[in-house]
Amino acid sequence: MRVLVTGGAGFIGSNLAKRLAKDGHDVVAADSFLSAHFLNLVDFPGDVLTLRDHEDVQSMIDLGRFDAIFHEASITGVVGANGENFNDQQRMMRNNVETFRQLLDWSVETKAQMIWASSCSIYGRGAVPMKESQAPDPLNIYAFSKLTMERMAARYAPRLAKPIVGLRYSNVYGPGEDHKGKLASMIHQLAKQMRAGKRPRIFTAGEQKRDFVYIDDVVDVNLKAMKSKTSGAFNAGAGAAWSFNQVVAELNRVLKTDLQPDYFTNPYSFTQDWTQTDLSAAKAAFGYAPQYDLAKGIDAYHASGKLGISFA
Ligand SMILES: NC(=O)c1ccc[n+]([C@@H]2O[C@H](COP(=O)([O-])OP(=O)(O)OC[C@H]3O[C@@H](n4cnc5c(N)ncnc54)[C@H](O)[C@@H]3O)[C@@H](O)[C@H]2O)c1
């Protein structure tokens, strides 16, 4: 198949592009390189398309028809890699929603299949385990942009040749995320502190729980989603939750350290105490079943040689 991966030099996009190329597909990784890192694509043999800016959809259209598009490109949070404020509503909506609209129009025209990255941030303060059927509660403009994209995808679905699947990722971790800085997973950020001999800094008393999903499961859920017979937005997490204290214990195990958490008071007015995905819908629709629990994921990350390691 001829496949396009947007955000292809980013964390998830580059891992996906490499896997698709390994599986024998003709892959184009498209990225603006404004917040990505070339090191993610050093071992990618396919074509790399560099976009003029985040709103440059035309360069992708100019390459001709693709059988499938994996749309991973996005501003990925309300803080930038260096802590800068990305809480600019217009910029977020233009970048995330309006580029998606153009990609969807193009998909209708060319009958391309669309699999795209949504987010569990849509659930906000919602009940746990989080189910697709519950009311959305977006707490920032990033989450609202993803919700708007989901609603747009639903409106386009009847006009598309193939089912359109949005994947609500939870907290993804694994090799290729270092360029994300403050947006990288807490697993990577804590491992960095510990490799530097520092005690890992986490909110008091470390019992907040997160659905941490390993990158290989995220790549796998994208491949499985291509077989979906129904359009929709589906949870794509680990289906389980682990506390930050457990993360620190696993990191001490693989890094062979004995660093106790350095607890500090959460400065934010709102953070979720517990996130966990219910995966029954993704399982029923296309057989998604994650293979990595926290220990196995951290083992694999450590074995990659990239856990807690900074890009050059
Ligand atoms: N990593 C996570 O934990 C997580 C969780 C939920 C959802 N997501 C979603 O998954 C997707 C991939 O995230 P990631 O973690 O790989 O982040 P990332 O920042 O590494 O990747 C995003 C990439 O998109 C590029 N980009 C941004 N806007 C673009 C545009 N309009 N056109 C082309 N390229 C553009 C950036 O340069 C970057 O390479 C995003 O849509 C994100 O919202 C990620």
Ligand 1 near 244 CB (within 6 A): no
pLDDT of residue 45: 98
Tell me how far the alpha carbon of residue 295 lies from the centroid of ligand 1, in angstroms: 25
- Summarize pLDDT for 63-97 with one digit per residue, the tens: 999 999 999 999 987 776 666 676 789 999 999 99
Whether the Cβ atoms of residue 6 and residue 27 lie closer than 8 Å to each other? no
Domain that holds residue 279: 2-174+213-239+275-291
Pocket test for ligand 1, best of 5, 6, 12 (most atoms within 8 A of CB): 12
pLDDT of residue 101: 98
Ligand 1 near 123 CB (within 6 A): no
Whether the Cβ atoms of residue 202 and residue 244 lie closer than 8 Å to each other? yes
Is 268 a member of any domain? no
Protein residue closest via CA to atom 12 of ligand 1: 72
Count up the domains in the chain and report the number: 1
- Summarize pLDDT for 206-238 with one digit per residue, the tens: 999 999 999 999 999 999 999 999 999 999 999
Is 260 a member of any domain? no
- Summarize pLDDT for 159-209 with one digit per residue, the tens: 999 999 999 999 999 999 999 999 999 999 999 999 999 999 999 999 999
Tell me how far the alpha carbon of residue 75 lies from the centroid of ligand 1, in angstroms: 6
Ligand 1 near 224 CB (within 6 A): no
Whether the Cβ atoms of residue 37 and residue 78 lie closer than 8 Å to each other? no
Mean pLDDT confidence for 128-145: 96
Angle between helices 215-225 and 11-22 (to 10 degrees): 60
Is 207 a member of any domain? no
Structure token pair of residue 104 = 């969807």
Is 50 a member of any domain? yes
pLDDT of residue 165: 99
Residue 269 has pLDDT above 80, yes or no: no
Helices (H), the chain: 11-22, 58-61, 89-93, 99-110, 141-156, 186-195, 215-225, 244-255, 280-286, 294-303
Ligand 1 near 74 CB (within 6 A): yes
Is 41 a member of any domain? yes
Pocket test for ligand 1, best of 72, 94, 179, 213 (most atoms within 8 A of CB): 72
Which residues does the annotation mark as catalytic? 142, 180
Q: Determine the distance from the C-alpha atom of residue 227 to the mean position of all C-alpha atoms in its chain, rounded to a whole number.
A: 20
Tell me what the pLDDT averaged over the chain comes to: 95
Is 126 a member of any domain? yes
Whether the Cβ atoms of residue 199 and residue 100 lie closer than 8 Å to each other? no
pLDDT of residue 122: 97
Is 259 a member of any domain? no
CATH code, domain carrying 29: 3.40.50.720
Whether the Cβ atoms of residue 138 and residue 122 lie closer than 8 Å to each other? yes
Is 187 a member of any domain? no
- Least-confidence region, from 10-14, 79-83, 251-255: 79-83
Pocket test for ligand 1, best of 6, 11, 39, 141 (most atoms within 8 A of CB): 11
pLDDT of residue 77: 77
Whether the Cβ atoms of residue 48 and residue 94 lie closer than 8 Å to each other? no
- Summarize pLDDT for 270-290 with one digit per residue, the tens: 778 899 999 999 999 999 999
Q: Report percent pLDDT > 70 for the chain.
A: 98
Task: Please name the residues in contact with 303: beta carbons below 8 A apart, sequence gap of 6 or more.
Answer: none
Ligand 1 near 14 CB (within 6 A): no
pLDDT of residue 84: 66
Whether the Cβ atoms of residue 262 and residue 244 lie closer than 8 Å to each other? no
